[in-house]
């Protein structure tokens, strides 16, 4: 490891060990601190209610799915999709695979039995290469794929929550969101580290085209 990257790693580890939300996640049994990003957005925007059907894109390790399952309750349904395997969670159905491919999508369609979703959430992010322009382009590609998935699977007036990164391609993606939903707002929850360029977009009132 290079000397510079060693310093970065040590700095990240110190921050992680001292992170309030890391400690809170452990105390409450969440799989990662990211749970609190969803909790804080939901407290502000009231996205979740009992009985909702939700798909969590890029779900691993599963902290968002944990929050979703808690808040939609036993009458709701949470389906988690990820390329990585997901350790079992109570009241969460897991589908491993690339949601752009036919086999995972067929499994999802079978699980939904023709029902459209109330909510699609995506906390997806690419593996970071360190090349800023490439990482930004790949992150925006994931956003567009999530929006395409939502267009295909949301009910009319449904809701989408998606993580994006401010930079090249972000204004264009925001414009796409505004074409697809009645209202779109951006959120930067307290649990999102200040230095991160991540921002969450909440689209409400999906404009389903018949």
Catalytic residue among 7, 163, 182, 209: 163
Percent pLDDT > 90 in the chain is: 65
The pLDDT of residue 195 is 72
Each residue's pLDDT tens digit, 34-49: 999 999 999 999 999 9
Cβ-based neighbour number of residue 113 at 10 Å? 6
Question: Would you call the peptide bond into 61 cis, given omega within 30 degrees of 0 as the criterion?
Answer: yes
Q: In the annotation, is 163 catalytic?
A: yes
Element holding 89 (H helix, E strand): none
Looking at the predicted structure, is the pLDDT value of residue 143 above 90? yes
Helices 35-45/63-72 angle, 10° precision: 40
- Alpha-carbon distances of 122 from 8, 15, 49, 119, 171, rounded to whole Å: 28, 25, 18, 10, 18
Note if the pTM is more than 0.85. yes
Tens of pLDDT, residues 18-38: 677 788 888 777 889 999 999
**CA atoms within 13 A of residue 198's CA, in its CB half-sphere:** 20
pLDDT of residue 99: 79
């Amino acid at each position: 490891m290079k000397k510079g990257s060693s310093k970065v790693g040590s700095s990240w580890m110190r921050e992680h060990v001292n992170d309030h939300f890391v400690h809170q996640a452990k105390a409450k049994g969440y799989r990662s601190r990211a749970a609190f990003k969803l909790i804080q957005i939901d407290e502000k925007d009231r996205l979740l209610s009992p009985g909702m059907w939700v798909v969590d894109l890029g779900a691993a390790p599963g902290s968002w799915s944990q929050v979703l399952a808690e808040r939609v309750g036993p009458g709701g349904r949470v389906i988690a999709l990820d390329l990585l395997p997901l350790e079992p969670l109570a009241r969460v159905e897991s589908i491993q695979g690339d949601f752009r491919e036919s086999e995972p999508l067929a499994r999802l369609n079978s699980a939904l039995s023709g029902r459209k979703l109330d909510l699609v959430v995506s906390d997806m992010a690419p593996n970071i290469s360190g090349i800023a322009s490439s990482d930004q382009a790949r992150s925006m590609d994931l956003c567009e794929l999530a929006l395409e998935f939502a267009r295909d699977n949301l009910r009319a007036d449904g809701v989408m929550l998606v993580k994006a990164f401010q930079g090249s391609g972000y204004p264009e993606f925001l414009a796409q969101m505004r074409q697809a939903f009645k209202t779109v707002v951006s959120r930067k929850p307290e649990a999102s580290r200040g230095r991160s360029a991540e921002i969450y977009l909440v689209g409400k009132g999906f404009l389903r085209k018949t």
